[in-house]
Structure 1
Amino acid sequence: MSTGSRLETRLGALELPNPVLTASGCGGTGRELAQFFDLDRLGAFVTTSVMARPRAGRPTPRMTETPSGLLTAMGLPGPGIEGFLERDLPWLAEQGVRTVVSVAGGSVEEFGELARRLRGASGIAAIEVNVACPNVEDRGRMFAWHPGAAASVVRAVRAHARPGVPVLAKLAPDVTDIVTIALACVDAGAEGLTLINTMEGMAIDTGAAGRPGTLRPALSGVSGGLSGPAIRPVALRCVYQVHAALPDVPIVGVGGVATGLDALEFVLAGASAVGVGTTLFHDPTAVPRILRELDEALAARRIGRIGDVVGLAHKPAGYVPPQVRPEPPAPEPEAGEVKEKTS
């Protein structure tokens, strides 16, 4: 079986040639990554979250490294919907990229307006709803923290988005029960889920190598979003739990994907695709490598199609998917040879 058919996957109605996407906010406008590989090699490019108006983001410092991770508090900088529709989306379309547009807002109305503005634009494969945004009408509490609030945002986007364009809800892990919030988003019209957004954390600058440090929070916003390998076990747990509750809902697994085997873990937990994020900051060529490693991992395990092992970790021990080719039988000994005696 060819590599292409082995890696093909689906996110609801959206067909993808492979399951590797960028994670929102980690691929810039796409122009930055295009220096290192052809973007049409991606399953899809996920944009930085687009808001209604241009934003400069938070003041620096807004990034700091942590053990096995990265803390960021960017503040969603970007050109706003006007600039995105005028410059970024047309450029992505020219590259032949399947584009998933991430949207963010401070109110339900803003989310709905963004979906309405995108309705007439061409070149959009799906919309990802970043519900990990502060709700200005609810004392700044994140939409992602409450099932009703998250559902209201998804419902508004689904109502204004172009019919046939899948809507994915990107959920935050800093909640008591992510399954309840996932159920609410699906009931509100989400055709798929992205799990997970960053986890909230902080670091304090104590200095190093002769530098005394500020002895204050390392980020201007005090706390930020933790990403990278440090959160992969949490992301896998969330994917596994949500897939168990909603086995027919496609999931994009995000959180610390750095190798093909990382991607395979997410698929086995229940993801139909994965997002690559933090690793792109130190290895911008990671996507082609991860695709190659994932294909090699599938071939080594005699897996004919990646879709056949989505959620395999939920199956009982000994279960073999129909498309997994069995080991070939041992060759019969030639005439005159004696089989080795076994006890």
Structure 2
Amino acid sequence: MLKTKLWDIEFKNPVFLAAGVMGETGSALKRMAKNGAGAVCTKSVGIEKKPGHNNPTMVEVEGGFLNAMGLPNPGADEYAGEIERIKDEMKRMNVKIIGSIYGKNDSEFQKAAEIIGNYVDVLELNISCPHAGGGYGSSIGQDPYLCKNVVSAVKDVSDIPVIAKLTPNVTDIKEIANAVVNAGADGIVAINTLGPGMVIDIESGVPILGNRVGGMSGKAVKPIAVKNVYDICSAVDVPVIGVGGITTGADAIEFMMAGASAVQVGTGVYYRGYDIFQKINNEIEEYLLKKDLKMSDIIGIAQK
């Protein structure tokens, strides 16, 4: 009932692990696969090792979390080994791997794609992190011209689907969506975290996060994410994966009604445990059976 076909790839269900959550190691990805994810997205990796921001890197706030990881990763070459070690087992479980990559320019993205693209089923371009600094993330994702260059560069060296993860921190997300699709993007992921935001310790007067600012994720961002998915789906004709505040099957269905073909779950793991993927799948199935519907019946219904 929940089988989903995107880019001629069949996913056993439409509930995926989002980048940056439980994707630091191959064993963590495998754990999420065993708990019902239809696909798992890796930690964002670049061409060189990056330590990330100083601790603390995450703080809970009302309605979610602020995080400022700073794109920590061991570098594409070393991380490729992590994927290689789990690839056969992931195939046995019929769980696809999405490789998230980042860079500060089209050349760095291209080099990372050439390495990671050999080990994954889909490439996800992180052009949306709001707190990475140094020309990374949303510094690219807020500029249609830079977005176009990055997507074009990766498409030139990739023979697997390339999807762009967009930032909501723009004036017109439809403009960015059109830019990446016109450059050849096979799909879009929306949204990355909001912000950056800040939390201050009133006893010391010092911002709590080591980086001072971080991106907002969690339940509070869901209405904004749903609206962004709705806008993107009204502007472009490629598969869209919705992400942002999803913790229940009802949340996932809402994104699908806005036009998403699949969803990703991140901080929801904190709220409902590692088996959140299976729980959400069960809740989607229960809804469809109760209403006597297929998934294709609900995708984009709010657009009509």
Compute the TM-score of the two structures, normalised by the length of structure 2: 0.92
Q: Quick one: structure 1 residues 243 and 166, their matched pair in 2 at CA, closer, same or farther if it must change by over 3 Å?
A: same
Q: Which secondary structure state, in structure 2, belongs to the residue aligned with residue 99 of structure 1?
A: strand
Q: Quick one: structure 1 residues 249 and 140, their matched pair in 2 at CA, closer, same or farther if it must change by over 3 Å?
A: closer
Pairs within 5 Å for 1:99-110: 99-110=97-108
Is contact 2:126-2:137 (8 Å) kept? Answer: no
Percent identical among aligned pairs is: 37
Task: Name the aligned partner's letter for residue 101 of structure 1.
Answer: G
Which residue pairs with 2:22 in the alignment? 27
Structure 1 outlier segments of 4+, above 4 Å: 33-37, 133-136, 138-141
Q: Which secondary structure state, in structure 2, belongs to the residue aligned with residue 173 of structure 1?
A: coil
Task: Name the aligned partner's letter for residue 117 of structure 1.
Answer: I
Task: Name the aligned partner's letter for residue 235 of structure 2.
Answer: A
Question: Could you tell me which of 208, 211, 225 is aligned with 2:215?
Answer: 225
Task: Name the aligned partner's letter for residue 99 of structure 2.
Answer: V
Which residue pairs with 2:295 in the alignment? 306
Question: Could you tell me which of 123, 129, 151 is aligned with 1:154?
Answer: 151
Which residue pairs with 2:164 in the alignment? 169
Which residue pairs with 1:281 in the alignment? 270
Q: Give the whole-Å Cα distance in 2 for the aligned partners of 1:158 and 1:297.
A: 38
Structure 1: runs of 5 or more not aligned: 1-5, 316-343
Is contact 2:64-2:217 (8 Å) kept? Answer: yes
> What is the deviation of 1:132?
1.9
Task: Name the aligned partner's letter for residue 17 of structure 2.
Answer: T
Residues 1:295 and 2:292 aligned together: no
What are the superposed Cα offsets for residues 277-297 of structure 1, whole Å, 9 maximum, x if unpaired?
001134222111111111111
Q: Which secondary structure state, in structure 2, belongs to the residue aligned with residue 7 of structure 1?
A: coil
Q: Quick one: structure 1 residues 132 and 93, their matched pair in 2 at CA, closer, same or farther if it must change by over 3 Å?
A: farther
Task: Name the aligned partner's letter for residue 158 of structure 1.
Answer: K
> What is the deviation of 1:24?
0.3
> What is the deviation of 1:35?
4.7
Q: Give the whole-Å Cα distance in 2 for the aligned partners of 1:146 and 1:47.
A: 25
Higher helix share: 2
What are the superposed Cα offsets for residues 195-245 of structure 1, whole Å, 9 maximum, x if unpaired?
1011113233335xxxx3x22111121211110111000000000011111
Pairs within 5 Å for 1:1-343: 6-28=1-23, 29-32=25-28, 34-35=30-31, 38=34, 41-96=36-91, 97-119=95-117, 121-122=118-119, 124-132=120-128, 136=134, 142-161=139-158, 163=159, 165-206=160-201, 212=203, 214-246=204-236, 248-282=237-271, 283-303=273-293, 305-315=294-304
> What is the deviation of 1:90?
2.9
Q: Which has the larger radius of gyration?
A: 1
Q: Quick one: structure 1 residues 308 and 141, their matched pair in 2 at CA, closer, same or farther if it must change by over 3 Å?
A: closer
Q: Give the whole-Å Cα distance in 2 for the aligned partners of 1:60 and 1:112.
A: 30
Structure 2: runs of 5 or more not aligned: none
Task: Name the aligned partner's letter for residue 31 of structure 1.
Answer: S
Compute the TM-score of the two structures, normalised by the length of structure 1: 0.82
Task: Name the aligned partner's letter for residue 128 of structure 1.
Answer: E
